[in-house]
């Protein structure tokens, strides 16, 4: 059995998230104990909010970038919890309209698509996720969409033109992740709506 670079990247992502979630959780527990002991103030509140945000991001990244074994399922309640925590204090709201559990490989693609959508909503908005049979639909609406046309067009064309930087890694990974599912990524955009489906 051989493993490609994407497999190893996913394993590295899983390892980093696994190793970070425990210390971040411990910091959160320590802050909670300090609060129970009567310690309070804006400093403690700031640390608490930052720990909550870090914890939410790690949980999200673990799914978006981590290893996704075939047949591994993620419960609907867990998905909603991750997205709700991620949206705390953020400008983008996620509307999850899928009622059943989701296989991890498909959810990895959906979460990478959500990361792409976030970049298009600098002034805030909402992203809705639906599943119709085997078809995933992710749609973004916001006050003002901000799109790098080359980067977004690269999602659906074989020849890539945009440079993939660390902040754009989801745009490089999403087409590969969708292709691994045996599906085709489709893009729709106009002045008010941006949608991905696969």
Q: What is the pLDDT of residue 18?
A: 64
Note the pLDDT of residue 159.
85
The CATH number given to whatever domain includes residue 133 is 3.30.565.10
Q: What angle do CA 80, 169, 49 make, to 5 degrees?
A: 45
Both 97 and 53 in a single domain?
Answer: no
What domain range is 125 assigned to?
A: 91-198
List the chain residues with pLDDT less than 70. 1-14, 17-31, 39, 44, 48
For the whole model, what pTM was predicted?
0.83
Tell me, yes or no, whether 188 lies in a domain: yes
* DSSP character string of 5-49: HHHHHHHHHHHHHHHHHHHHHHHHHHHHHHHHTT--SHHHHHHHH
Residue 74 lies in a domain: no
pLDDT of residue 1: 36
Structurally, the chain folds into a number of domains equal to 2
- The pLDDT assigned to 21 comes to 65
Length reported for the chain? 198
pLDDT at residue 89 in the model: 77
For residue 77, the model assigns a pLDDT of: 92
| 61 and 95 inside one domain | no
191/95 same-domain check: yes
């Amino acid at each position: 059995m051989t493993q490609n670079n994407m497999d190893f990247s996913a394993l590295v992502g899983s390892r980093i998230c696994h190793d970070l979630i425990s210390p971040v959780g411990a910091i959160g527990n320590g802050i909670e104990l300090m609060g129970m002991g009567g310690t309070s103030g804006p400093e403690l509140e700031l640390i608490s909010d930052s720990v909550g945000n870090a914890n939410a991001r790690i949980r999200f990244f673990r799914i978006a970038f981590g290893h996704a074994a075939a047949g591994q399922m993620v419960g609907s309640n867990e998905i909603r919890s991750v997205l709700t925590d991620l949206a705390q204090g953020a400008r983008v709201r996620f509307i999850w309209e899928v009622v059943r559990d989701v296989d991890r490989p498909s959810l990895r693609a959906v979460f990478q698509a959500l990361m792409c959508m976030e970049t298009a909503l600098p002034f805030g908005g909402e992203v809705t996720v639906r599943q119709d049979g085997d078809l995933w639909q992710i749609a973004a609406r916001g006050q003002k969409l901000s799109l790098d046309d080359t980067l977004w067009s690269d999602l659906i064309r074989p020849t890539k033109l945009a440079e993939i930087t660390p902040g754009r890694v989801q745009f490089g990974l999403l087409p590969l992740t969708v292709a691994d599912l045996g599906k085709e990524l489709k893009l729709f955009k106009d002045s008010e709506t941006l949608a991905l489906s696969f």
